Amino acid sequence: MRPTGSRRAAASPVASRQSRSGDGTASLRLAAPKDSQPGAAYAIWRSVGQHLRVRPHAGCGRLALWPGMRPVTVVSDDVSRLQPEVPGARGTGARVPASVRFGVLGPLKVVDGTGCIRPVPAGKQRIFLAALLLADGHTVSSAALSQALWDASPPANASAVMRTYVMRLRRALGPVAGRIVGGPSGLAVALRAPEEFDLAEVQRLWSQARSASEAGESERVAALLVRALSLWRGDPLTDVPSDALARRELGRLTELRLQLTEARVDADMRLGRHSGLVTELRQLACEHPLREHIQAQLMLACYRCGQQAAALEVYRDARKTLADELGVEPGDELQRLHQKVLDADPELTGFVPGSVSLCQPDGERRLQTRLREVTPRQLPALVRCFKGRAAELARLTKFAAGVRSEGAAAVSVISGMPGVGKTALAVRWAHRVAAEFPDGQLYVDLREYSNGEAVSAADALARFLHAFGIAVADIPLEEDARAATYRSLASGRRLLVVVDNAREPSHVRPLVPGSPSSMVVVTSRDSMSGLVAVDGACRLDLDLLPVDEAVSLLQDLIGDRAVADPRATRILAVHCGRLPLALRAAAERATARPGIPLADLVADLVCQERQLAQGLRGASLRAGAR
């Protein structure tokens, strides 16, 4: 065991100098003896903590104070950590020149006070720095940094690994390392002015542009927005390999750039620069076909250049795209502008499409939209020759009345096997009670049992919001924000919502209005037990049609031949399993062959069923023999 006296001797630094910078950062300059033992460095590091009455920064000081290294400065920022000064930042207690610049609007970029670019070569270190920068000057916790680095799968020693990343990042940043400051709750990047960070500078220019717009200074608005857009160096975070950051930030940054572009085009329109905008707007309209405001800007630019036919063609293309992609009609902005172009309205010479939504200085979007005076009526057409289900219709009506009297939104689930008639029943009942919901009827098919792509809850909400008159460009990006806007619009309204072909309760809940006077009808092949147990939904298990009602349906669909041969009709109903969808398919086959007696068609169908059953049985036996 080493003597105590030896440890004390080894732990004494050759020289020390303590100072405090203007921003309250305490510094202590140390040097270890050249001939000291390896343990001396750590002992010095411990004594620093006792001297300043702070906790040393684990993992950094021991390496920085290794014997034989040149003197280093140990920095204590906000009296909770000690951090070594990186070589190149000597003599000022980690003071960094004010001309430092950080950038995320493109590849990650760091420029030091001398104008030199400080490359950050390692991907994990770039993620670390980007996560700090995108926090807008706020402290980022260890948990948030861990999520950015490893998403939901951090290593067991995540804390130790992150300390290593901080050390290496500081080394890469050189004189800029002092801008990474720590505290009990995490780390942050200390910015002294918006000009030091490209995103903060964009927000500042945007705020100035908004003020200039309110003052009617279109020339200044255009100039400020051109400056803001010039700060983009490409797609944001292109060299930052973090899925978590991409999910959280890329949508926001893309939306910000589009809004800046739309606002700049609006300002140029007011200044009469439409002739120079057509080419740019055509490219933007091609890249963002669902952006209705850009389509409106292109229509107006074409019209002002004397191209009325081209303006109308833009509207036709936009309308077709919205119908194909979202199943909705153009919003109020495009429809009003289309009518003005048709009328050759003289107002168009000084007209600018509805104002683009502007971001607040803190980057959060502010919804600015005018709702159309329209009530959505989206229920599908009724199915012809609907038969039976009187008891089920009465049960839906009774449940809706009972729940509304309790002051809660009613949710009914119609469940059953494929082809049993769930959608037909839901639509039939919805049409029957539509008058009780005068503020609108909404319909969406989630297609969660089809082979094609299902409709997500976020997309369904977008369709509902558009039905209420919100332009596509004004619809929030996140599902939670869309759901909140939807509930706000539905508040106080009496709405009927039909959600067809849903599989998961979590896909239905965002579509339920908060208004107690509303009603939601869900169809599903599953029991939706989560909606019943948690949300108080009423489940209606739809069974097969009774034989008599199945026969009656076939007689209505086929006509006189089915009425004249009730025996064949009954056999056909049984062989179709009394499923409404199968009955309609069989009726179509019968009506397509009017010259063949119904009994012959039924005999042919029975024969085919037997052959199919025998084939399946034989295949099963052969498989078992193998």
**Which tens digits make up the pLDDT trace of 47-57?**
444 333 333 44
pLDDT surpassing 90 at residue 152 = no
Pairing of strands 26-31, 15-20: antiparallel
Q: What is the mean pLDDT of residues 521-527?
A: 93
CATH topology of domain 293-366: 1.25.40
Asked if pLDDT for residue 539 goes beyond 80, the answer is yes
Q: Is 400 exposed, middle or buried (0-12, 13-18, 19+ CB in 10 A)?
A: buried
β-pairing verdict for 101-103 and 109-111: antiparallel
The H or E element containing residue 74 is: strand 72-77
Confidence of residue 284 (pLDDT cuts 50, 70, 90): very high
Q: Which fold has domain 96-271?
A: Arc Repressor Mutant, subunit A (1.10.10)
Q: What does pTM read for this prediction?
A: 0.50
Look at 130-134, 370-374, 405-409, 444-448 and tell me which has the smallest mean pLDDT: 370-374
Q: Check if 96-271 and 390-541 are the same fold.
A: no
Task: Assign 605 to helix, strand or coil.
Answer: helix
Question: Mean pLDDT, the chain, as a whole number?
Answer: 78
CATH 1.20.210.10 matches 390-541: no
By mean pLDDT, which of 104-113, 279-288, 427-436, 580-589 is the weakest?
A: 580-589
Q: pLDDT tier at 99 (50, 70, 90 boundaries)?
A: confident
Residue 602 is predicted with a pLDDT of 80
> Which tens digit of pLDDT belongs to each residue from 333-368?
898 899 989 988 877 876 555 444 333 333 333 333
Instruction: Kindly list the domain boundaries of the chain, sorted by start residue.
Output: 4-84, 96-271, 293-366, 390-541, 550-625
Residue 590 has pLDDT above 70, yes or no: yes
Task: Check: CB of residue 102 under 8 Å from CB of residue 72.
Answer: no
In contact, 65 and 72? CB cutoff 8 Å: yes
What beta strand segments (E) does 104-255 contain?
Answer: 109-111, 180-183, 186-189
The Cα–Cα gap between 358 and 361 comes to 9
Q: Rounded to the nearest 5°, which phi and psi values hold at 74?
A: -100, 125
pLDDT, tens digit (0-9, with 9 covering 90-100), for 76-87: 333 233 333 333
pLDDT score, position 454? 86
Q: Label residue 615 by pLDDT band (50, 70, 90).
A: low
Has residue 35 got a pLDDT over 50? no
- Both tokens of 279, joined, read 């080419």
Least confident of 4-18, 90-104, 466-480, 602-616: 4-18
Tokens at residue 72, please? 């280093």
Tracing tokens 């000690």 back to the chain, one arrives at 82
pLDDT at 594: 80
Give residue 298's pLDDT.
94
470-482 pLDDT, tens digit per residue, is 877 678 878 888 8
pLDDT digits (tens, 9 = 90+) for 192-249: 888 999 999 999 999 999 899 888 888 999 999 999 999 999 999 999 999 889 888 8
